[in-house]
Amino acid sequence: MGLPVQKVPEYFCELPLSGLKVKFRPFLVGEQKTLLLMQESEEQGLIFNAVQTLIKEVTFGEISDAGKLPMADLEYLFLQIRIKSIGETTKLNLICQVDECGASNPIDLDLNDVQIDTSNIPDMKVELSEELGVIMKFPTADLQKYADAEESDAFINILKSSIDTIYDAEDTYDTKDYADREMDEFLNSLSLQQVEKMGEFLNNTPTLSHIIKYKCIKCQKKNSVMLKGLENFF
């Protein structure tokens, strides 16, 4: 007789920005080991690839390219998978920010409290002039690859990739149908103010973040720290 093999449980969650409903299973032991190894790596690209592969596997191939999800959705999904696989709490060591204290504060964080605030989603439509405007889309996770580039390059590349449609008085233009060079020409024809208006959309895109308030165990002063990014919520 063969050994019993446990049936893997299945869970569902809805991604806050795209509204996608996703079925997933927890990580298995082998997969968790890979993750721990990745965690020790400083290379963002490596970590991102591992996360992508893992998401594809635990969603039964449904999310075949996690890089195409809005960044916040990917982080949220990963967090839900983590909760079901490893547990609902994580232990953090937060360093007191009060001058010259620097004490390390152990904090238990309930990961269910980490949410994406969707109450102030910016308008997807950005009017650039009376006759010209764009419809934006949320920056996808794979745009993180630009984050290592020089800051101004990163901004313009992320912006360019986050324009879904351009419209004027006559027509609408799906940016998918246009070459990179044409997009550059379009962007170069805009004023600084117009580019900033689109930049505001990027800045106001919801992210996975969580504010922790605690009293330092050493100096007793109040600290408030905002956690952002997957690495804080492993």
Is 216 one of the binding residues for Zn ion (CB under 5 A)?
Answer: yes
Residues in contact with Zn ion, total (CB under 5 A)? 7
Q: Between residues 95 and 124, which has the closer beta carbon with respect to Zn ion?
A: 95
Is 227 one of the binding residues for Zn ion (CB under 5 A)?
Answer: no
Is 98 one of the binding residues for Zn ion (CB under 5 A)?
Answer: yes
**Phi, psi angle pair for 189, to nearest 5°:** -85, -5
Q: Between residues 101 and 202, which has the closer beta carbon with respect to Zn ion?
A: 101
Q: Between residues 20 and 98, which has the closer beta carbon with respect to Zn ion?
A: 98
Is 219 one of the binding residues for Zn ion (CB under 5 A)?
Answer: yes
Handedness of CA 193, 226, 73, 17 (dihedral sign): negative
Cβ of residue 49: shortest distance to Zn ion, in angstroms? Answer: 38
Cβ of residue 114: shortest distance to Zn ion, in angstroms? Answer: 24
- Which range touches Zn ion (CB under 5 A), out of 113-121, 161-169, 196-204, 211-219? 211-219
Q: Between residues 92 and 190, which has the closer beta carbon with respect to Zn ion?
A: 92
Q: Between residues 39 and 97, which has the closer beta carbon with respect to Zn ion?
A: 97
Q: Which of 38, 47, 103, 227 lies at the binding interface for Zn ion (CB under 5 A)?
A: 103
Is 105 one of the binding residues for Zn ion (CB under 5 A)?
Answer: no
Near Zn ion in 24-43, by CB under 5 A = none
Q: Between residues 11 and 214, which has the closer beta carbon with respect to Zn ion?
A: 214
DSSP conformation letters of the chain: -PPP-PPPP-EEEE-TTT--EEEE-PPPHHHHHHHHHHHT---HHHHHHHHHHHHHHHTTTSSS-GGGSBHHHHHHHHHHHHHHHT-SEEEEEEEP-STTT--EEEEEEEGGG--B--TTPPPSEEE-SSS-EEEE-PPBGGGGGGGGS-HHHHHHHHHHHTEEEEE-SS-EEEGGGS-HHHHHHHHHTS-HHHHHHHHHHHHHS--BEEEEEEE-TTT--EEEEEEESGGGG-
Which residues bind to Zn ion, rule: CB under 5 A?
Answer: 96, 98, 101, 103, 216, 218-219
